[in-house]
Structure 1
């Protein structure tokens, strides 16, 4: 922190690109990650996309039904729709066969959190594709958890203070999107914003993803991967990985950083941990 305040952001350790030997070793790292079943198949990814489309359609129909019940005519109700967004490991592109999909509905002001956890919950109960449905409205970030056609879903809601989403003048990356929002909505929106910001700042997305897979594997095998138990969760490890990957060795592949980047990853963050505490 002292160095940052007085000297600004330091340059990367090296801008060098990988050699042919690095490229070969990089493939070995990917094979190692595959041996731990850390890559989703194309067929499974297509199924996940299909499931997200079905859930989005379900919510679209729900918004129309609620709007009409509130006295809005059908033609106008069809314009008052919500949008489904993903975040977390799915949005970052590091989903595994056992991962759930973190997603969030952005809705207009007539779809309140109470309606979401009561009436939309009932709509999910009536869907034959839904299994193990659970509503957790009192948690730090209120959530509905369920399995849809075999895919685990964690679903949030963010209600924007507009009659329709088209009336919102701000994009999700604009801080003014938080205007007149409560703390829960801010926390829900941050999931999308952080994931998108990380990806927008990463010079090589595939290198970043494979590096993150490596770090997450390390954390999980040592029992250090859990928000619930007080350890870092997925987005926290992603932020740390992004910081080192982007600022220390932005152009190197995973094999090269295996002995350099991974070492510096732990040196840097353990140094700051002990410095702060």
Structure 2
């Protein structure tokens, strides 16, 4: 997949860029933005355990509804897909794990998943809390298991069983999902597209970690608070990586604040595809697949426009009022990155700047 944009700069990183990128990494380590190898293994263990619980639960539903022993049934009972920071490879110790559980057609969303499954989870050792959130835009169950929060959404595959080699990115499989299921899987589709578009995965990840750290320190992170959420910051960062495909992380962050500092958000959307490419593939893609996947257009607008595709439509007026103050902090970071004598401590001063409520 290509973005359709011509790079603005393809010069390799200078020695100074590399030094500043190392300073950037120091900040990220000092701010505890990396999960340890041991904790990552624990996350994998938790995911495996949840998938096993789901498999056994769906097996029982199958036997109950069809009065047939599960050994007579071919195929897999369920699949668990991840998305969000875990899938992107940028999760922090405090991040939850976003997942989508794909079940066969005989598992009912409301009667089974949102009514019976929470009780099954509450019976499991190590699960301390289960919260049903069936009326959210993406309905899900929140689970606190072995010290980690997980969000489990539900996707119904219109087939009698789940193929062992299920590929949710295959068009034939895609059309086997209903609209709510596609909404649950939307994060997987969007993030897969992003990772195929960014030229340097590790540069993108390091840059995104810093941008998210800055947004959190400024108190402007999270859809539920009326601010840009994780996917929004991800798109904005990926856009800069596409325009500067050979840049180092420090240069990407510099360009991030430079590019967005004076952007006219009411007129200029950010999309990872040029208009030409949208006409050729993306619009066709979204029309064929349906409105819930229109985030594949990766559009970002800092206004109150509620049209489909605008994943920043929930931004509140408080963020708009604070935008100038936040841009000022971003400008200071950009100037530090442009300063030959930039140090790790100077980054910390800016990322930990106090939030000013106006």
Tell me the TM-score normalised to structure 1 length: 0.89
1:17 aligns with 2:12: yes
Structure 2 counterpart of 1:139: 136
Structure 2 SS opposite 1:273: coil
**Which of the numbers 219, 222, 225 marks the counterpart of 2:221?**
225
Q: For 1:35, which of 30, 52, 57 is the aligned residue? A: 30
Q: Distance in 1 between matches of 2:148 and 2:255?
A: 37
Find the counterpart in structure 1 of residue 71 from structure 2: 75
* Residue 9 (structure 1) shift: 4.9
**CA distance in structure 2 between the aligned counterparts of 1:199 and 1:26, rounded to whole angstroms:** 21
Supply the distance in 2 between the matched residues of 1:148 and 1:9 (Cα, whole angstroms). 43
Gaps of 5+ in 2: 270-302, 304-358
The runs of at least 4 aligned residues of structure 1 exceeding 6 Å deviation read none
Stretch deviating more after TM superposition (250-259 or 33-42):
250-259
- 1:113, 1:159 within 8 Å by CA — same for their partners in 2? yes
Give the conservation status (yes or no) of the 8 Å contact 1:80–1:108: no
Tell me how far apart the structure 1 counterparts of residues 45 and 169 of structure 2 sit (CA, whole Å).
Answer: 26
Residue 111 of structure 1: aligned partner: 107
**What is the aligned partner in structure 1 of residue 250 from structure 2?**
255
Q: Distance in 1 between matches of 2:255 and 2:135?
A: 44
Partner Cα separation in structure 2 for residue 250 and residue 165 of structure 1: 38
Alignment: residue pair count: 266
Is 1:193 matched up with 2:200?
no
CA distance in 2, matches of 1:90, 1:83: 17
1-side partners of 2:4 and 2:164: how far apart?
39
Contact 2:199 2:241 in 1 (8 A): no
Contact in 1 for aligned 2:237/2:256 (Cα 8 Å): no
Going from structure 1 to structure 2, the CA distance change for 1:136 and 1:258 (only over 3 Å counts) comes to: closer
What is residue 284 of structure 2 aligned with on the other side?
Answer: none
Distance 1:218 1:167 in 2: 41
Partner of 2:266: 273
Contact 2:34–2:90 under 8 Å retained in 1: yes
Query: Structure 2 CA distance, aligned partners of 1:167 and 1:32?
Result: 42
1:259 Cα deviation after fit: 2.9
Q: Is the 8 A contact 1:249 1:261 kept in 2?
A: no
**Could you state the TM-score of these two structures normalised by the residue count of structure 2?**
0.70
Structure having greater relative contact order (Cα 8 Å, sep ≥ 6):
1
Does structure 1 retain, via aligned residues, the 8 Å contact 2:74–2:161?
A: no
Q: Residues 31-58 of structure 1: CA distance to partner in whole angstroms, max 9, x if unpaired?
A: 1111111110011001000111111111
Match of 1:45 in 2: 40
Unmatched 5+ stretches in structure 1 = 1-7
CA distance in 1, matches of 2:266, 2:22: 33
Tell me how large the CA RMSD over aligned residues is.
Answer: 2.1
Q: Structure 1 residues 78, 66: CA separation in 2 closer, same or farther (over 3 Å shift)? A: farther
Local SS of the residue matching 1:165: coil
CA shift at 1:180, angstroms? 5.7
| TM-superposition CA deviations, 1:99-118 (whole Å, max 9, x none) | 00001111111112120111
Deviation at 1:260, TM superposition (A): 3.1
C-alpha deviation, 1:243, in angstroms: 1.3
What are the superposed Cα offsets for residues 155-204 of structure 1, whole Å, 9 maximum, x if unpaired? Answer: 11101100012299x83224554426433212101111111111111211
1:22 match: secondary structure: helix
